[in-house]
Structure 1
Amino acid sequence: MEHLINERVKSIQISGIRTFFNMVSRYEDVISLTIGQPDFPTPSHVKDAGKQAIDQNLTSYTHNAGLLELREASARFVNEQYGLSYAPESEVIVTTGASEAIDVTFRTILSEGCEVILPGPVYPGYEPIIRLCGAKPVHADTTKSGFRLTADLIKRHLTEHTRCIVLPYPSNPTGVTLLKDELNDIAALLEKRDIFILSDEIYSELVFNGKHESIATIPSMRDKTIVINGLSKSHSMTGWRIGFIFAPENISRHILKVHQYNVTCASSVSQTAAISALTIGRQDPVKMKGEYEKRMNYVYERLVHMGFEAEKPNGAFYIFPSISPFHQSSFEFALELVEKAGVALVPGSAFSSLGEGYVRLSYAYSMDLLSEALDRMENYLSNR
């Protein structure tokens, strides 16, 4: 019966990150720095709120858009942190993680033949959904612009079919952030164009120098911007699956229909726990961010000492060094590290063809583990 499967589904692949992770899991004594999974436990007060929700039988459906108390808390959070202003009743949707938020957003705004401009290299979770919608991903090469999707790069790829531009900053896989001036330039370019912006800000709380800037704070951009965020990275709640969509009411009301038929609502238990994260846990990300910054500086310095070239990250918990001195494909290099050094990194080709020539290292791991992994890499490469 496989011949009856949707051809678009058959043409997409499992994420290269997961494919490589699964492939190397059969090797023994390998330190894997492949997954963007915070190594901090979910804060105790968040877990307690989830337990209480179960004990109090708060286990039924919620409003399709989520508990109003949670929507209010999330709107208040992004307003106080980033200057974003959204009405909890009509402009906030609680989703089953940021992944579902991306999915329902694309399925709402894209149609056959549309084009979506993405920076390349880029997180691999966008392209398959774009293709499933019958739309075309268009990757702009950011390898010569410090991995930043600039207004000039966007302009080169604009066509009459451009429907959406994705701004995934802070970036996975590069850790790069965008500055206010860069966002202003993009806003000036798009101000009079009917083009959506999907601003994926899931790492917004993990910015090391300065504060996270959202393009939705620019008045001319608010009506065309859909902001995606969530608690997986900021509060170490990956398995709780809580994401958010912030968008003007005339866009949100249509996204809500797709969300409703997709999942009905996010988990009621997780939503209750999320209220605690956004109220009692306002400072939870601060300690984590401080630790990630220490790890980033350590990893960056070690890699540079080994001869790698890398853009120094300013956010998230990834670094994306070039492997050009080693004259191998990213897959060959990563596989060799696994087999001969006992360290697993993600081949850059997992992040579009523009990621070829790089590898991604996640430093969402303890300093002890990072130290051992980098020692193994250095010992192997120095004797290669």
Structure 2
Amino acid sequence: MDGKTGDATFGKVKVNGEQGTVGGLTNTTWDPNNYTSGQAATEDQLKVVDKKVEDLGSTMGKGYTFAGDSGFVNKKLGDTVKITGDEKNITTSVTKDGDLKVELNKKIEVEQITSEKMILKNSDGSTTDVGSTLKEHSEKIEENAQSIKKGLNFAGNNGPVVNKQLGDTMSIKGKEGVSEEDAQSKYDTENVVTMTDKDGNLWIKLAKNPKFNSVEAGDGETKVTIGNDGVKIGDKTYITKDGLNANNQKIVNVADGKIEKDSKDAVNGGQIHNIVQDINNSIHQTNHRIDKLDDRMHRGLANSAAMATLEFMEIGINQATVGAAVGAYRGNQAVAVGVQAAPTENTRVHAKVSVAPSRDNTETMAGVGASWRFNWK
């Protein structure tokens, strides 16, 4: 030990008083789990500690980087890290004990769930493979979506096929311009039914024997109305329960009706014409016969006049006399001749012939007579 320089050696330990250093110490490493309290530290040990402090400072200077499923954020010591939910399905809170609590709402709202393997445990202990179920449902949903995209096709007896998508309006129209009030009061479904067949067709059917309060066809003066009051054309009624009113119109194309006893058939103009012709022919023939009879009667009266005018002279037994006369009546003339004889004193025999000629024929009148004379007492 040198009192002047202050140097001293204690075994392996050397003290340099001039430089103020101590060397030869053996505690050159630092074990925090195995150290001696009150023992001086060597530079080696301080270097190790300094390195650790330096490394710690460098590490602390980098702060903390928090990474999510996408993106990240870096926070320095002393900065506040805010952990928030989406305000719909996830909420965060700090408990009174200072714990950070992340909660999932009991009722969640999601736009899409994708997972190949997701198992849910049910309240009864059973499990559900959500992934498989979702996949199966997703396939069905996709299949349904494709079917829905096809929409519905509507086809009539004629015209193009109409396609309507889900949500589109399919208009099935009848008469245009009908008010709701008229639709309620003037239209009904009594004569219309709908049915489907085995091929999936929807049929709208009208009754074979429909019932209507009235039926209208056409318009104006030619409009035909059939109703409870009868059959009308324009504003005139032609047929009612009481009978037929032709309203001064002709009824045409009437078939020949039976003309016989007890027949109630209507007859047509042709049949009446034939009847009139037959009557006219009969009248003509009757008139002809009457005219002929009248002519013959006139000539007969002329013959009668001629024969009435013919007289004979008084004659004796075995004598004869001849006479002639002319008669006329309404333009007809006749000539009469006669002879009378007396074969005995009391017997007379006479004969007369009268002729009235004409263009068609000649009317002849003749007569033979005899007379007797005798005494009563």
Q: What's the TM-score once normalised by structure 2's chain length?
A: 0.16
Q: Give the strand-richer structure, 1 or 2.
A: 2
Q: What's the TM-score once normalised by structure 1's chain length?
A: 0.16
